[in-house]
Amino acid sequence: MILTLANFQNGMYVLPHAERAPNEADNTILIKSYIDRYERELLEDTLGVELYQDILDNQEDYENAPDNVKKIVLGTTYNLGGKSVKWGGLSDMLTPYIFYRFLQDQTEIFGTFGMERPEGKNSKAVSSIPKATQAFKDFYSKYQGEDEIVRVINTRTHFGLDYSGNIKSNRSLYQFLNDNDDVYEVQYFQVIENTNQFGI
């Protein structure tokens, strides 16, 4: 596993009861099960079974892992077309994805009488849709990124296409794999649609 419970104990993607505390609810086992399931599913489909296994084999010490594993897991800065660009690493990409999946699945629970929405005392339920949508948008930009559109130049003196000025400094996983296609295989990458909880 690349992610740990620590990824959900502070910052933007805090999950309730992500650490053990006496006399409180404990979600640590549930959160670990989300990490195990969705991290493996996404990375096997995206990177292929072989690279994912290499990542797992080196999880004790990514700093001393082979270069291809170290760079994809921890992130790296590299040169692209004369410009310095950065890939933030798998942890940076996976945290909003696991948070999104957790919110999506935990909004309603299966109870004795079917699907139920839990209600706490001394609190008012609000929609999880804005937080879930923001998490998915963050994941989407780090996973696949937006298209780098070719700029059309149309002046009185000339007409043309500019391919050079559109390189973004922060690269998505898809962009990182394509930028380094001599090291990584892009054939496994699964393109996804940007969506929210309404499927829009």
User: For 5-63, what is each residue's pLDDT tens digit?
Assistant: 888 988 899 888 777 766 666 788 889 999 999 999 999 999 999 999 999 999 999 99
Which amino acid does the sequence have at 49? V
Highest mean pLDDT out of 64-68, 109-113, 143-147, 184-188: 64-68
In a domain, 23, yes or no: yes
Token pair of 176 as six digits:
């990182």
In a domain, 42, yes or no: yes
> What is the percent of the chain where pLDDT is above 70?
80
In a domain, 185, yes or no: no
Half-sphere exposure of 64 (CA within 13 A, CB side): 2
Round to whole Å and give the CA distance between 81 and 40: 33
Give the pLDDT confidence of 78-99 residue by residue, as tens digits. 999 888 999 999 999 999 999 9
In a domain, 184, yes or no: no
SS3 state at 94:
helix
In a domain, 190, yes or no: no
Round to whole Å and give the CA distance between 145 and 135: 14
Nearest to 90 by CA among 25, 4, 198, 17: 4
In a domain, 197, yes or no: no
In a domain, 143, yes or no: yes
Q: Tell me the residue range of the domain where 43 lies.
A: 5-111+125-179
Q: Where is pLDDT greater, at 77 or 186? A: 77
Question: How buried is residue 42: exposed, middle or buried, by Cβ count under 10 Å (0-12/13-18/19+)?
Answer: buried
In a domain, 161, yes or no: yes
Instruction: Supply the mean pLDDT for the chain.
Output: 84
Across the range 150-158, mean pLDDT stands at 71
Number of domains in the chain: 1
